[in-house]
Homo-oligomer: A and B are copies of this chain.
C-alpha cells in the first residue's frame, strides 16, 4: 500500500498521519542480513563472528532451522564466568527456542520496535515458517535491531519530503 502523505485535510492531527505512514513500513523494507552460526560452533568462534560481522547478536541454527540466539551480553557473561570458551559450543550458552522473540517480514516496524522494548533485547531474528525433514520451525531471513530503528528515525527526521 502507498504511504499516506499529501496536502489534504481530514480532521486528523499530523501525528496521526505520521502514525499511518510509519505503519506502512514493514520489517522486510529495513531488515539487515542475518548473522548465523551452527549450534556446534565454539563460544570463542561465535565471538569472533560477532566481531567480524560487527553485530550485537548472532543466531544459532541446526539443520537450517533457528534453535537459539546469543547476545553480546551473553558472551560477556560466559567470558568472565569461567566458561572454557574454546571448548564449549555456543549451543550451551544460547537462549533457546521457544524463548526467542522473532519478527516476521510482513510485520510493521512499529510492532518490531515494540517487541524490542518490551522484551529488552537488542535485536530480533527475522524469520519465515519452514519445514526441514518433517520438523517445523523458522528459517532465519534477516535481523532487525535498535540500529535499524534508529536509522529509520534519522531518515524520517532529516530527509526531504517523500
Contact = CB atoms under 8 A, between A and B. Distances in A.
Interface of A: 4-7, 9, 11-19, 21-23, 44, 47, 50-51, 54, 72-73, 75-77, 79-80, 85, 110, 113-114, 116-117, 120, 146-147, 149-154, 156-158, 161-162
Interface of chain A, main secondary structure: helix
A27 to B, nearest CB: 14
Copies of this chain assembled into the complex: 2
Given A9-B9, A80-B85, A117 B151 contact: yes
A14 to B, nearest CB: 4
21 contacts: A4-B14, A6-B13, A9-B9, A14-B14, A14-B18, A14-B21, A18-B18, A23-B157, A47-B76, A72-B73, A76-B79, A79-B79, A110-B153, A110-B157, A113-B153, A113-B154, A114-B154, A146-B150, A149-B153, A150-B150, A153-B153
